[in-house]
Amino acid sequence: MENITIQVDPETAKAYREAEAEKQQKIQIFLNLMLKKAISQKPLLDIMEEASQQAIANGMTPEILESILNDEN
């Protein structure tokens, strides 16, 4: 993996910095998928399949993804 820098609002930055390492990793996986989708010329289904395989290899489960998406903190 490679690091990049993106700008977010102060509240988001603070919440991310204060999150546990495991949650930060899960957020990184999710954001990687969203960035790929936004910039790729590949069909969305191909991107989703690749991201799914990568996420599973890194320990992501449907339950974890749902908890990230539904987390209000």
Cβ–Cβ < 8 Å for 16, 27:
yes
Query: Does 17 score more than 80 pLDDT?
Result: yes
Binned at pLDDT 50, 70 and 90, residue 64 comes out as: confident
Cβ–Cβ < 8 Å for 65, 55:
yes
Global pTM reads 0.56
Query: Does 7 score more than 90 pLDDT?
Result: yes
Query: Does 72 score more than 60 pLDDT?
Result: no
Cβ–Cβ < 8 Å for 23, 57:
no
Distances (CA, A) of 11 to 3, 5, 7, 65: 21, 16, 12, 21
The DSSP secondary-structure symbol of 61 reads -
What was the pLDDT predicted at 38? 81
**What token pair was written down for 72?**
């209000």
Question: What pLDDT, in 10s, does the model give residues 18-34?
Answer: 999 989 988 998 888 88
